[in-house]
């Protein structure tokens, strides 16, 4: 797994997941094909798919694939979310022709990310976020625990206006945003060599069981499948 500030790239075998949804947009390239299912039970067998952020889905297993996660703050993710549809019939991108290397180096991973993004139709770029939303995200990214009174002051909004503006501009409730950020911190801690228990504590989860439950909700697999058994590398 290769990680940058707002993007994560996994290359290797995929395990079958439970139905889940997360803050990231997801681009999957599976040369041998992959079964994808949406939240309503619709199914699609594709060689490539773009799964919009916050859309319930699950996928089957395959021997080799690339999976690019684009954090909801990423410009590409925000562009994809503008045309999001809940049915998997709209997710297929079999026209994407990208080679997926085995055991890629960091340089190969960067090139693969660039190839995937250039092959995906991002259409028009997203509109800039409201300044208040940018201030709120900047505060939430750097503060844990969160002082809601200070956040309201930073945003220049009442608490009610703050929650409404955040959900409208960011696309999900503030609590869900914080949960995703804590997951990213847990991933970074594991990347640095921490155990799951230590990663849970460092990221602000009550314990490893809490981290495991949230991880399954977000990724449809256990942390052992998604973290402990994978080598992580940071892309600058």
Predicted confidence at residue 48, as pLDDT, reads 93
Residue 125 has pLDDT above 60, yes or no: no
Instruction: Determine the topology of domain 2-119 in CATH.
Output: Jelly Rolls (2.60.120)
Helix (H) or strand (E) holding 93: none
How high is the mean pLDDT of the chain?
A: 84
Helix (H) / strand (E) element for 147: namely: none
Q: Is the pLDDT of residue 127 over 80?
A: no
Listed residue (27, 119, 159, 140) closest to 73, CA to CA: 140
Longest Cα–Cα distance of the chain, Å, equals 52
Q: How far apart are the first and last CA of the chain?
A: 14
Class (C level, CATH) for 131-234:
mainly alpha
pTM of the model: 0.76
pLDDT tens digit string along 48-85? Answer: 999 988 899 999 999 999 999 988 777 777 777 776 78
Q: Where are the domains of the chain?
A: 2-119, 131-234
- Over the stretch 8-46, which tens digit does the pLDDT of each residue have? 899 999 989 999 988 888 999 999 999 999 999 999 999
Q: Cβ(235)–Cβ(3) under 8 Å?
A: yes
Q: How deeply is 57 buried, as exposed, middle or buried, from its count of CB atoms within 10 A (0-12, 13-18, 19+)?
A: buried
């Amino acid at each position: 797994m290769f990680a940058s500030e707002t993007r994560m790239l996994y290359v290797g075998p995929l395990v079958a997941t439970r139905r889940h949804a997360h803050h990231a947009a997801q681009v999957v390239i599976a040369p041998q094909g992959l079964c994808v299912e949406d939240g309503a039970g619709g199914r699609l067998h594709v060689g490539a798919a773009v799964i919009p952020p916050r859309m319930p889905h699950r996928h089957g297993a395959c021997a080799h694939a690339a999976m690019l996660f684009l954090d909801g703050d990423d410009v590409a993710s925000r562009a994809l979310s503008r045309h999001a549809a809940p049915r998997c019939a709209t997710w297929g991108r079999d026209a994407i022709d990208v080679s997926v290397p085995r055991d890629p180096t960091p340089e190969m991973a960067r090139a693969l990310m660039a190839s995937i993004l250039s092959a995906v139709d991002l259409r028009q770029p997203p509109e800039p976020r409201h300044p208040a939303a940018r201030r709120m995200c900047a505060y939430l990214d750097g503060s844990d625990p969160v002082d809601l009174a200070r956040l309201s002051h930073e945003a220049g909004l009442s608490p009610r206006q703050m929650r409404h503006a955040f959900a409208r501009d960011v696309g999900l409730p503030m609590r869900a945003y914080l949960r995703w950020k804590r997951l990213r911190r847990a991933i970074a801690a594991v990347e640095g060599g921490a155990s799951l228990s230590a990663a849970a504590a460092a990221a602000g989860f009550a314990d490893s069981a809490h981290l495991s439950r949230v991880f399954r909700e977000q990724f449809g697999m256990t942390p052992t499948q998604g973290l402990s058994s994978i080598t992580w590398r940071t892309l600058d």
